[in-house]
Structure 1
Amino acid sequence: MNVQDYKYFLLKSIFYDLSLYFGSESKIGKNLSDLEKILEYNNLLLLDKVSSKLVDIISDNNGFKFTEPENKKFLKSIFTTFKKHVEKDKTTNGEYTINGEYIRYYPLSEIKNSIIYPDKIKDNSSDDYEKYIENLDWEKIVDSEDINSVLNTLSNIFCYVPYFKDGKYGIGDISFYDKLKINTALASCLYLLKERNELNESFLNDDEYEHFVLLSGDISGIQKFIYTISSISKGVLKSLRARSFYLEIMLEHIADEILEYFNLTRANLLYTGGGHFYLILPNYSNIEEIINNIIQRLNDWFIDNFYIDLYIAMGVEKFNFNNLKDFSSVFKKLSSKLTQMKQRRYIYGFDNGQLNNLLSLKVNKYRECTICHSGFHITRERIIKNEKTKESNLGYVCDTCFNLYNAGKYMLSKEESIFVVNNNGKESLDNNLMVGLPSLYYECGKNENKEIDRYLYFGTKEKINSSNLVRAYSKNNKENKYVNLFLGDYNFKEDKEDKNLIDFETLVKGTENNNTIGINRLAVLRCDVDSLGDAFMNGFIGHADILRTSSFSRHLSLFFKYYINFICEGNINIDNYKLFGDSFHNNSFDRKEEKRIVIVYSGGDDVFLVGHWLDVINFSFDLRESFRKYTDDKLTFSAGIGFFHTKYPISKMASQTGELEDLAKKNEYTEKNKCIKKDSVALFGIPHSYKTEEDKSFKYVFTWDEFKEIKSKIDFLFSVCYFSKDDYDKEKVLLSVSLMYRLKQLIELYDKDRGINIARLAYSLARINYNNENNKNYNLFKDKIYNWFTAGYKEKEDKKNENDKKSKYLNKEIKYLNIALDFIIYLFRKE
């Protein structure tokens, strides 16, 4: 294959119709037209075929109608076509209709350092955007040696620009970037098939012929690999974040290894995240044999380095041009194949040699690593030096864990790039900043051929020989010439110049100069998008094509891998949530919008992070409200938030918060006589005394909207009460800790089906001191509390009369009050 011809072909496919948006008469349009002429690839048969099929998909309205004029300058939100937008309208003969009020537009913009929301109001800054485009050095972009670098640049500047051609605009929710990316992905597959003499003109014109395959990869064992470390080991948070980051880069690396093996670019990468990736590959005659060989080599490497702790499964599904319009069917078939493969681990077709070799391995050959607890590798006693702690003994640690620990500060630095190197010239690099990576050329038992090894290197590029460099990545850096990876890597720092990761104790308690407030508890948040699989499979009625599938996954990844960093910073372009609102004033508590949080993992749809309990609560609501606006309230997520001592084992934190997340996903509520599931949050933890699912779910699981009722209770209590001598207010009544516990005790008695004790409640309220100055607030307080309790009692009696089995459940008013009191108690406690 002529490499230069192939490069021109790829560039031609990228710039094939990009000048359409600006028009041939404009300055930028002429520049792009001239660039297309420069590209020395003249055979447009393959490009014409692919582009025409994609334009047909884009231009198909499929029954959607609009009540307002089209505006081709602005891209409609991908959720314009999402299923919750669509309703049958009998007045239009059963056609699907979108009312103008539902349509949201993205501003004409590049990707910025803030969240870009779709909105009803059209942005009018197109002139500024076009000036930005005109000032780009287009010849330099085209002259780049790396096609991935070109894609990198164009993804930033064309992801919010709508595609149209010859007046064909369709619904207007497909961006120019999505079109050029899929155009390049499919065209490159056809080019490679033609190079192998597996494509002739009759095959090209046959839309039923399966030219392509969709490959899905899935790494198992991620949870165990990340969370196996002990909370009492030194630098637990650094190790935790480093292990998570390592797997994120490994996933990108494996996808790139496969793409490079097939001579493809990242245009063929549909999605990476959560241990999964999807690639579009050419349907070679021996494609299944090739993929089986790739899987076997990757798992050989995993076995040699991590035994069975990590495993990769892959499956392929063939598809044709006709399948592009209903790509969800391809995903469904592929999902089924991947499930079957996971059930037959280490067996490829009729080859079970890897499984037999695995059974003969000796696992625990060495002293156990104090970080990962594996006995599969040589361990050594490691002493680390630190300016603050001087010396610290990590114990007996394996090379992988030790190098991940050392590389932690580089992983968390925004300035550093990440390099993948091979073994050529390895002696010039710092071995303590290198961690192994799988290779498609790895052969089990032939490890002595070091040139086939791959390493993740966190040092500077100056020491890397050109023959040593395999590829380079940059993090959240759109201007970098390396392949940009959007990664949720926010980590709170007391000192912005300090590259070391904060520890659990400092995260929770703060420092002498920057105290935290409230109980010293670490909160762990785990959440993911509700019914995401169903959204991919059934989310687009009549529009489940390859373009919208790609755009949908890209927008979700952008939110959870990039925009989440700004939410942690408090930069959300909407009002920040505050559990205690502005009514709580304390001189020692100058709460900034920036959260005391460290993201452990944030993938394509799910999040795991740790932080100060109050910041995690506030962040979770900021995340939820941002996500609602970002998706136009068409997707939800559920979360578990657990509270823990800092010395509690991290693996237990992860598993118990995962249980809370599961409970949130099982939650059901009724809205407008319709049962709605999920969209909930589960709090605190699951007491050991709760035995059944029914018991687990009744107390601390709420919908996000219900949680707002808890906040309203908190706001009311702060408006009429003060809680200690430090915040004394003569016009308010004292709500002491002892009184809060008495009220909680009455709630517990109510909960145990003993009935409300009116006398005890009246006695507790009567003991509150009041006078002429605070009499008004005292009456408001006691009346409100009394009404909440007695309303709950009456409702309970009604349920008893109906023999309702759920009669033991707390009335909502006092259920919300109970949690509100918990939070206020946490606010004023220390231990």
Structure 2
Amino acid sequence: MSFKILKIALAGMLHDIGKFMERAELKIPQKYIDNNQALYQPKTHWHYTHKHALYTAYFIDEMSEYFPSQFTEYSSPKDSIVNLCAKHHRPDSDSPEQIIIQEADCISSGIERREFEEKEESVRKAKEIPLLSIFEDISITENWKAVSSQEFRFSYPVREISPVNIFPIEKQNVTGQAYSELYQKFVKVFKNLPHKDSPRLWMEHLDSALFVFTTLIPSATLKEAQGRFEEIISDISLYDHGRLTSALAIAMYLYHLSTDSMDENSIKARDIKKFLLIEGNFYGIQDFIFSEGGSTAKHAAKLLRGRSFYVSLLSELAADFILDKLNLPFTSIVTNAAGKFKILAPNTEKHINAVKEAEDEINHWLVKNFYGEVSIGLSWIEASPDDFICSGDSLGRVLRAIGNASEERKLKKLDLTLYGGTKSTARYLDTFSDAGVCSLCNRRAAKLENQINEDYLCDICHDHVKIGENLVKKDTLVVATADAELHETLKMPVFDKYQVSFLPGRLSELVRQNKIIHYWNINSLWKNENILDDFVSIKLINGYVPRFTPEYKNEIEKITYGESDKEETIEAIQNQAILNFHHIARLALQKTEQGMNGVDALGVFKADIDNLGTIFTKGLRPEKRTFSRYAALSRQLNLFFTLYLPYLCKTEFKNIYTIFAGGDDLFLIAPWSEITRFSMRLSEDFYRYCCNNSEITLSAGVYITQPETPVLKMAEASEKALEKAKNSGKNKITIFNCPVEWSSIEELEKIRQELESWFDDELITISFLYKLNELRQLAEEEKEILKRQLIHEKLNPLIWRAKLHYFATRNIAKGKNREERIKTVEEVLSKLVIWIEKYRESFRIPLWQTIYMRRKA
């Protein structure tokens, strides 16, 4: 990739960095102002406007020694990085690159730029205005807020990204001091960004620094109305605006370069289909993660972690593979989460052919190594600048078009004329040796050198197990070229091109040789650790898994079966190993004076966001449907699952095992007894994260099972539970095969607590709970009889109240005297009747929970 392309991409990223500096109230020397103001600031009505452009120039000049030297070198002042970055409001007429940055800036800003940014911002007012939340003004029923920022209740704090800071707070003005403190942290990181010998690698680190420090500050805040400045709905961050500007600028530059149309009129023509919007989808993810083999149970935890991470890695590197084919930088990726990504590219025949070529090469490698189990599908549509900035439903049409193209592509995942037949079978059989078939996947040929314990594994399954081991030990991941000499690499380079290592060793020489493609920190941000020192690129593709820590010594009797198991567990605590599913299941037990109570079972939890496609295409009011908001919405939803969720597990739900979380969904395994409390907290936090917007909801399903259940069955059963919640009206959770609204879970939990207290006070017995379950079933049948007027059916269910009264008077509070017992029976009986009549089927949730917890283990 040429440095020219990287320089334009960098200019798009940094063109508005001056706004950050300006709001931090830093002073520009008067001499610099006198010498440069006319170069970078437009002049309207005899005064200079857009002062942030001068601040951008000052930032670039002041920090020039901290850039890779390739970016600060230039053959002409028009091509200098300072002019590409800072002249976006006053481009030179003979510099098409500067005009492209200006136009990309306008398209990224959307329709709003034409309305309000023609005059100078009021700096004093601008720095007080916080970033509003895009979630607060989403409605799929067209019930939007008024077109005024005053109607918004929530905003974000002017702080760096963290699991806590991404939540909106009650709206309040911002101080220059808050900007100053944040800016100083950014500058400290910027000056120490590593790998300056590799401009592309350095740019990735810079992108992550911008993500951390400019995601929670607005890109634009004011508009002029009748001679005064008014606050706008400032819900696009400086980071999202800069990142999309970079993607647009590169696509436009390559389009006009390829079509020999590098003139101002062509560049500013907005009705030409200059862009390709490419969507990539990985197919077969769930079957791949949960595929079973003869020895998968022995390696279940490591294998699940490894496979889940490997899917994320494949998605990341597939996008990278396509970018390399298209000669595009990483900033051309608009969204990338949960096995789906979108790339913005120039609309030329050359680039369309490159997309096809990339798809063929990726799928050839996947078929060769996974035999059609997984594949990638690439779809694309043409788009014009007007599609991204016009009011109305233009963006909705674009999103629906790419969605339809993706659905059509899904119907023809692989070309059977290429990959079917006896020729493929012969090649497959030739791969086997004396090691036989891999004991984990039961598909690929095992190798004698890939022995783990008593099992011979194929290269890929060996990689998955080793990935699963390293994920909980290492925070850094290096992706290098296939010929790079690294320590403990994968057996099978991804796409025969990318080598991966958690233990890279010394990298300086490999960086100079341009053999290091990515250097990622995959854990520290969600762990909420200090990331300012030794800052590198952040990639949120890992998640939390429970590990043995010293505090588990207090539960050693609960989680072990015998002395030998206890010894192994103590050793696991010393090594901080991952909890296996049997350990997690036994954490559901309760230790009592009489021994262990409860059921050692797993709660398998699956959830996703309701109506997500509608939210993206119709959730925003028509005049706000811009590409920048689409990208911001996708990123913010992903942050809840990839940044906050693992932090929540680490700090409050330490026993929960993350199978996958990202995009808009998650799949977790936990002690079944913790799953209700966790689901309540998750729902509450997601609601708070989305500004209490009742039109952005989650649905979830819970499946309770034994730890030896095949993981594929766990996935299928929890998926069915999730579907039941969605089919019964969405915004619900299915527990014990009963879908209930989230609002009811807290009430049902209070019922469970009261049942538990009755049991502790010896008012009821376990046999009474079982009888109560029979009566609950009769109440459900009664409801159906009355609803459908089934008078020919047996009428036994209609007398459940009488039966309840009979059993209550005979079994409740048997240890009390007559007077106390009569009073207690009346109190308990009245509550039971109310609960059963109100909840009927849902009453089984607190009842079964109590029964499960009171069983003798």
User: Scaled by the length of structure 2, what TM-score is found?
Assistant: 0.77
**2:596 is the counterpart of 1:500:** no
Q: Give, as a single letter, the amino acid of the residue that structure 1 aligns with 2:771.
A: R
1:765–1:541 CA distance, 2 compared to 1 (3 A) = same
1:497-536 matches, within 5 Å, as 498-510=575-587, 518-536=598-616
1:517–1:219 CA distance, 2 compared to 1 (3 A) = farther
What SS does the aligned partner of 1:734 have? coil
Q: Distance in 1 between matches of 2:24 and 2:133?
A: 29
Q: Give, as a single letter, the amino acid of the residue that structure 2 aligns with 1:639.
A: A
Which of 759, 769, 772 in structure 2 is aligned with 1:722? Answer: 759
Give me the identity figure in percent. Answer: 21
Which of 332, 338, 341 in structure 2 is aligned with 1:277? Answer: 341
CA RMSD of aligned residues (A): 3.3
Q: Distance in 2 between matches of 1:526 and 1:626?
A: 16
Which residue matches 1:108? 158
1:305–1:29 CA distance, 2 compared to 1 (3 A) = farther
1:737–1:270 CA distance, 2 compared to 1 (3 A) = same
Q: Give, as a single letter, the amino acid of the residue that structure 1 aligns with 2:766.
A: V
Query: Is there any run of 5+ residues in structure 1 with no aligned partner, and where?
Result: 63-68, 90-95, 385-391, 440-452, 571-592, 668-676, 686-699, 724-731, 793-809
**2:697 is the counterpart of 1:636:** yes
Q: Which moved more, 1:331-340 or 1:315-324?
A: 331-340
Query: Is there any run of 5+ residues in structure 2 with no aligned partner, and where?
Result: 30-54, 65-71, 73-79, 84-94, 117-124, 225-230, 526-530, 551-573, 783-795
Q: Deviations over 1:219-256 (max 9, x none)?
A: 11111110013586212111111100111111111112
What SS does the aligned partner of 1:244 have? helix
1:283–1:597 CA distance, 2 compared to 1 (3 A) = same
Which of 805, 808, 815 in structure 2 is aligned with 1:762? Answer: 805
Q: Distance in 1 between matches of 2:589 and 2:774?
A: 36
Q: Is the 8 A contact 2:603 2:703 kept in 1?
A: yes
Q: Distance in 2 between matches of 1:112 and 1:274?
A: 21
**CA shift for structure 1 position 61:** 8.1
Q: Distance in 2 between matches of 1:224 and 1:105?
A: 41
What SS does the aligned partner of 1:461 have? coil
Which of 219, 241, 244 in structure 1 is aligned with 2:282? Answer: 219
Q: Is the 8 A contact 2:634 2:663 kept in 1?
A: yes
Q: Which moved more, 1:746-755 or 1:52-61?
A: 52-61
1:417–1:24 CA distance, 2 compared to 1 (3 A) = closer
Which of 101, 119, 131 in structure 1 is aligned with 2:181? Answer: 131
1:741–1:164 CA distance, 2 compared to 1 (3 A) = same
1:518–1:381 CA distance, 2 compared to 1 (3 A) = farther
1:229–1:830 CA distance, 2 compared to 1 (3 A) = farther
Q: Deviations over 1:133-175 (max 9, x none)?
A: 1352345559943222211100110001012277466311111
1:115–1:48 CA distance, 2 compared to 1 (3 A) = closer
What SS does the aligned partner of 2:154 have? coil
**2:619 is the counterpart of 1:539:** yes
Q: Is the 8 A contact 1:425 1:465 kept in 2?
A: no
Q: Distance in 2 between matches of 1:812 and 1:364?
A: 63
Which residue matches 1:82? 138
Q: Give, as a single letter, the amino acid of the residue that structure 2 aligns with 1:743.
A: L
Which of 494, 500, 503 in structure 2 is aligned with 1:456? Answer: 500
Q: Distance in 1 between matches of 2:333 and 2:715?
A: 30
Which residue matches 1:162? 218
Q: Distance in 2 between matches of 1:562 and 1:775?
A: 57
1:825–1:166 CA distance, 2 compared to 1 (3 A) = closer
**2:846 is the counterpart of 1:820:** yes
**CA shift for structure 1 position 459:** 2.4
Q: Give, as a single letter, the amino acid of the residue that structure 2 aligns with 1:735.
A: I
Which residue matches 2:385? 321
Q: Distance in 2 between matches of 1:505 and 1:205?
A: 63
1:560–1:25 CA distance, 2 compared to 1 (3 A) = closer
Q: Is the 8 A contact 2:367 2:419 kept in 1?
A: no
Number of residues paired by the alignment? 718
Q: Give, as a single letter, the amino acid of the residue that structure 2 aligns with 1:548.
A: R
Q: Is the 8 A contact 1:22 1:28 kept in 2?
A: no
What SS does the aligned partner of 1:286 have? helix
Which residue matches 1:648? 709
Q: Distance in 2 between matches of 1:191 and 1:654?
A: 46
Q: Which moved more, 1:270-279 or 1:483-492?
A: 483-492
Which residue matches 2:517? 470
1:372–1:150 CA distance, 2 compared to 1 (3 A) = same
Which residue matches 2:733? 681
Which of 389, 393, 399 in structure 2 is aligned with 1:331? Answer: 399
Which of 461, 470, 473 in structure 2 is aligned with 1:401? Answer: 461
**CA shift for structure 1 position 815:** 3.1
Q: Is the 8 A contact 2:598 2:856 kept in 1?
A: yes
**CA shift for structure 1 position 379:** 4.6
What SS does the aligned partner of 1:199 have? coil
Which residue matches 1:430? 488
Q: Distance in 2 between matches of 1:778 and 1:222?
A: 60
**CA shift for structure 1 position 775:** 6.2
1:695-710 matches, within 5 Å, as 700-710=738-748
What SS does the aligned partner of 1:537 have? helix
What SS does the aligned partner of 2:220 have? coil
Which residue matches 2:641? 560
Q: Which moved more, 1:707-716 or 1:359-368?
A: 359-368
Q: Distance in 2 between matches of 1:546 and 1:777?
A: 68
**CA shift for structure 1 position 594:** 3.2
**2:752 is the counterpart of 1:745:** no
- Structure ranking higher in helix proportion: 2
Which residue matches 1:10? 9
1:539–1:744 CA distance, 2 compared to 1 (3 A) = same
Q: Deviations over 1:182-218 (max 9, x none)?
A: 1111112222234435433242121111111111000
**CA shift for structure 1 position 422:** 3.0
Which residue matches 1:601? 660
**CA shift for structure 1 position 345:** 3.1
Which residue matches 1:236? 300
Q: Distance in 1 between matches of 2:9 and 2:309?
A: 31
Which residue matches 2:544? 490
Which residue matches 2:829? 785
1:198–1:501 CA distance, 2 compared to 1 (3 A) = farther
Q: Distance in 2 between matches of 1:104 and 1:422?
A: 45
Q: Is the 8 A contact 1:476 1:562 kept in 2?
A: no
Which residue matches 2:236? 174
1:218–1:55 CA distance, 2 compared to 1 (3 A) = closer
**CA shift for structure 1 position 177:** 0.8
Q: Is the 8 A contact 1:639 1:680 kept in 2?
A: yes
Which residue matches 1:665? 726
Which residue matches 1:447? none
Q: Distance in 2 between matches of 1:127 and 1:778?
A: 67
Q: Which moved more, 1:604-613 or 1:163-172?
A: 163-172
**CA shift for structure 1 position 556:** 0.4
Q: Distance in 2 between matches of 1:13 and 1:142?
A: 21
**CA shift for structure 1 position 6:** 3.8
**2:448 is the counterpart of 1:368:** no
Q: Is the 8 A contact 1:560 1:604 kept in 2?
A: yes
**2:350 is the counterpart of 1:298:** no
Which residue matches 2:266? 203
What SS does the aligned partner of 1:23 have? helix
Which residue matches 1:19? 18
Q: Is the 8 A contact 1:24 1:33 kept in 2?
A: no
Q: Distance in 2 between matches of 1:454 and 1:706?
A: 49
